Copies of this chain bind each other. A is one copy, B any other.
Amino acid sequence: MKRDYDIYSDLCPARAVLDRIADKWALLIMDRLALGPTRFNVLKRDVSGISQKVLSQTLKLLERDGLVSRKAYPTVPVTVEYALTPLGENLSMAVAAFAHWAESNMDAIRKAQLAYDRRERSSAQA
């Protein structure tokens, strides 16, 4: 058993990493990159709703943690491709399972929400 790192511990470096990857945008980007190397503006288009700033920011952080690689081609204008590193590929299975879980279970979730809101409503009676 590894006890070197513990995400439950506030000051553990693994907690900081978790904070970075347990993020809606980071997950969507990684999941999208799992399909193959992708250019900046394609990512921006596919991950709908993300802003240029946040996309750039998130990519940099993922690159720093060694999950994503950046490769620039000296075309005019410049072409840049982002891709998962081997380390990123290693995580991509978990990312996909997690990210797409909501899609597969929306019906159950909706049902739960309705039941919850109904209970709230009735308990709010004066």
Residues on A close to B: CB < 8 A?
A: 2, 4-10, 13-15, 17-19, 21-24, 27-28, 31-32, 46-49, 63-67, 85, 87, 90-91, 93-95, 97-106, 108-113, 115-117
Most buried by B among A4, A5, A102, A104: A102
Question: Is the Cβ of A24 less than 8 Å from the Cβ of B19?
Answer: yes
| A interface secondary structure, majority | helix
- Give A115 Cβ to nearest chain B Cβ, in Å: 8
Question: Is the Cβ of B49 less than 8 Å from the Cβ of A99?
Answer: no
Question: Is the Cβ of A112 less than 8 Å from the Cβ of B64?
Answer: yes
- Give A83 Cβ to nearest chain B Cβ, in Å: 14
For the complex, what is the distance from the CA of A6 to the CA of B8, rounded to whole Å?
Answer: 31
Instruction: Kindly list 10 other residue pairs between chains A and B, CB separation below 8 angstroms, not including A17-B106, A22-B24, A97-B97.
Output: A2-B103, A5-B106, A6-B103, A7-B103, A8-B46, A15-B49, A66-B108, A66-B113, A66-B116, A67-B112
